[in-house]
Amino acid sequence: MSASEPGRNGSSSSARNGTSNGLSGGARNGSGPSGGALPRTARYSAFSLFKHGLRASEWPRAWRTHPIRDSYDVVIIGGGVHGLATAYYLAANHGITNVAVLDKGYLGGGGSGRNTAILRSNYLTPEGVAFYDRSLELYRNLATELNFNVMFSRKGHLTLAHNDSSLRTMHWRAEVNKLQGVDSSVIDPGEIKKLVPYLDTSADTRYPILGALYHPPGGIIRHDAVNWGYARAADALGVHLHQQTEVVAIETAKGEVTGVRTAGGRRIATGTVLNATAGWSSLISDMAGVRMPVQTSPLQAAVTEPVRPFLNAVVVSGTLHVYVSQTDRGELVFGASVDPFTSYSMRGSLDFIEGLAGHVLELMPGLSRMRLLRQWAGLCDMTPDYSPIMGRTPGNGFYEDVGWGTYGFKAGPVAGETMAETIATGQPAALITSFGLDRFERGELVGEKGAAAVGH
């Protein structure tokens, strides 16, 4: 590729191959859009499945373990979808491969494996719509890009309105979406019933359904597969993934990041640290001396036994504080609003499950005999305006990709792509310029509360 040729996704080849940030980018290792060959990795295909079946041979491990190096160009704290995607795009788009992802637990064990895997881009602000729509586009092509079946299922997404004020917000969102080229419209109860026959759309319920924001491109995906797909692809490009490696300190000298320390007593030298954690993001930021306007609350979810496919769309009701979708295996996945207190607890509560069951039955009385299998919680870092905090902080070499509230999983790919560009070039990527920490000083908030699935 010549120096003047634009790279993929509009990133310049100077950003990809060398950086104004002093990070050593090189030629890309061969990964690429639309499933270019990933080095050192067995490609998954019908043929390789057949071959492995015939030989009864083991599949190679999806990613390797490595000794921790004394130094890396970039250290990413947090091995969820954001951290893994950033590592992947640093390597794939910018040729920066001397990268470590550190996680205090296991890859995808935090919010990335605890969310309800709903994808959508029907947000309220132009900035939010453009950002999440790029994520949806990346998600749509992810299976091919990563050569990993992430089970994206474009079911369509319905946000129900049970009163005039939410109907007004649905119209508002639909108009903002359309202006950004995103397919959303308000539909009436008759059309809703056709899409989801099991919904009680009659007028004599406690909260009659007046209409819905219908967003056909929305859907669900298999969240673990997304994490594993990015981990495998990042590993294949040379990124080191270190699980059970908790960061306990970030070292700085004269305002510049110089390294991190792990709970195991290791010092890792680096000039660039990305905080891609959820739940503990404000504690990690504190280590670099950066205060975050973030409060952490649990968000609970639950899953039922599998039943035959009957639910053709993701259904959300803000008034009843519930969302529900059916996985390809047939389970119903439910969630609600964040718990009304701050906490780091990831346990489910009886109170939640009782409220959830009552609300689900108001929407779909036919589900009264379904049995719940499991419930759990994840941690949501809520910001004052429900938009994330992304980009470089005043501490040189310290980057933030935090404050995702209840939107984090949806944003994984685009957060990875834009943070990789921001780190590689030293300039905020165009899609994240509104999400900097300094917006709180300037009072230029990006209010996305109105696009929350349910009231929080």
Per-residue contact string for residues 271-310; x = within reach of ligand PYC by CB under 6 A:
----------------------------------------
Please, which residues bridge with residue 26 across strands? none
Compute the distance between CA of residue 120 and CA of residue 373 in angstroms, rounded to an integer: 26
Q: Give the nearest distance from C-beta 69 to ligand PYC in angstroms.
A: 37
Residue type, 109: G
Q: Interface with ligand PYC includes 407 (CB under 6 A)?
A: yes
> Taking contact as CB under 6 A, which single stretch among the options 26-34, 114-122, 191-199, 231-239 is the one that binds ligand PYC?
114-122
φ, ψ (nearest 5 deg) of residue 164: -60, -35
Residue 106 CB, nearest approach to ligand PYC (Å):
22
- Contact with ligand PYC (CB under 6 A) among 25, 229, 259, 335: 335
Q: Which stretch binds ligand PYC (CB under 6 A): 51-59, 100-108, 115-123, 279-287?
A: 115-123
Is residue 125 a contact residue for ligand PYC (CB under 6 A)?
Answer: no
Least CB distance to ligand PYC at residue 232 (A): 26
Nearest 5°: phi and psi at 390? -135, 145
Nearer to ligand PYC, 268 or 454 (CB): 454
116 binds ligand PYC, rule: CB under 6 A? yes
Structure tokens at 216: 């056909």
User: What letter would DSSP give residue 112?
Assistant: G
What's the N-to-C CA distance of the chain in angstroms? Answer: 48
CB 16 within 8 A of CB 424: yes
Q: Distance (Å, rounded) from C-alpha 152 to C-alpha 226?
A: 10
From candidates 44, 63, 323, 352, binder to ligand PYC by CB under 6 A: 323
Q: C-beta of 456: minimal distance to ligand PYC in Å? A: 9
The answer to whether 419 contacts ligand PYC (rule: CB under 6 A) is: no
**Alpha carbon distance 278, 412 (integer Å):** 12
> b or e along 224-248 (b: 16 or more beta carbons within 10 Å of the residue's beta carbon)?
ebbbbbbbbbbbbbbbbbbbebebe
Tokens read off for 135: 């994520």
Residue whose beta carbon is closest to ligand PYC: 453
CB of 412 vs ligand PYC, minimal distance in Å: 13
For residue 386, the minimal CB distance to ligand PYC (Å) is 10
330: left (phi over 0), alpha (psi -120 to 50) or beta: left
According to the binding rule CB under 6 A, does residue 122 interact with ligand PYC? no
Residue placing its CB nearer to ligand PYC in the complex, 225 or 382: 382
Say whether residue 92 binds ligand PYC (CB under 6 A): no
Alpha carbon 3 to chain centroid, angstroms: 32
Total residues contacting ligand PYC (rule CB under 6 A)?
Answer: 8
Backbone angles phi, psi at 70, to 5 degrees: -70, -25
350's CB contacts (< 8 A; 6+ apart) are: none
Query: Residue 120 Cβ, how far from ligand PYC at the closest point, in Å?
Result: 6
> Per residue in 120-140, is it b (16+ CB within 10 Å) or e — as a string?
bbbbbbebbbbbbbbbbebbb
Report if residue 184 touches ligand PYC, rule: CB under 6 A.
no
Between CA 205 and CA 183, with CA 326 as vertex, the angle to 5 degrees is 80
Under the criterion CB under 6 A, does residue 121 sit at the interface with ligand PYC?
no
Helices (H), 95-222: 126-140, 142-146, 164-179, 189-195
Least distance (Å) from ligand PYC to the CB of residue 325?
9
**148 belongs to the binding site for ligand PYC (CB under 6 A):** no
CA distance 90 to 234: 9
- The contacts of residue 113 (CB under 8 Å, 6+ apart) are 80, 223, 224, 227
Shortest reach from residue 239's CB to ligand PYC, in Å: 28
> Does 388 engage in binding with ligand PYC (CB under 6 A)?
no
Among 387, 406, 418, 422, binds ligand PYC (CB under 6 A): 406
Contact flag: residue 136 with ligand PYC (CB under 6 A): no
Q: Which is nearer to ligand PYC, 287 or 453 (CB)?
A: 453
Q: Is 214 in the site for ligand PYC (CB under 6 A)?
A: no
**Residue 453 interacting with ligand PYC (CB under 6 A):** yes
Identify residue 343 by its one-letter amino acid code.
Answer: S
Classify burial at 203, counting beta carbons within 10 Å of its beta carbon; exposed 0-12, middle 13-18, buried 19 or more. Answer: exposed
When the beta carbons of 126 and 426 are compared against ligand PYC, the nearer one is 126
Residues of this chain that interact with ligand PYC (CB under 6 A) are 116, 118, 120, 323, 335, 406-407, 453
